[in-house]
Amino acid sequence: MVLHFLIQGRVQGVGFRWFVHREASELGLRGWVRNTEEGDVEVVAAGDPDDLADLRASLKRGPRGSRVDRVVEHTLNDSEARGLTSFRIDGAW
């Protein structure tokens, strides 16, 4: 299963990408997380539905210092998972 999440709120400058990376890696998910130019955080994650449900719960909670106002979720075609390796942060310095 492959899901796309867009997390809105105070989610940049608070360690959100590193939080997502840690959570997704611990769950054994594949995919990536990155900041958007609009100030949101975008996530694509592939893996077991139960593990994705755990990630969803973490995204809604966020790290300390963040404020999650909205999580927009879409299911992607399984072909979108091709080429996804271990979970990574895109655009990190």
pLDDT tens, 17-69? Answer: 999 999 999 999 999 999 999 999 999 999 999 999 999 999 999 999 999 99
Q: Which amino acid, 30?
A: R
| Closest C-alpha to 44, from 89, 86, 2 | 2
74: domain CATH number?
Answer: 3.30.70.100
Angle ∠(23,26,27) on CA atoms, nearest 5: 90
Q: What is the pLDDT of residue 93?
A: 53
Confidence of residue 88 (pLDDT cuts 50, 70, 90): very high
In eight-state DSSP terms, residue 86 is B
Q: How confident is the model at residue 91 (pLDDT cuts 50, 70, 90)?
A: confident
- Number of domains the chain is built from: 1
**Which residues participate in catalysis according to the annotation?**
17, 35
Domain that holds residue 26: 2-89
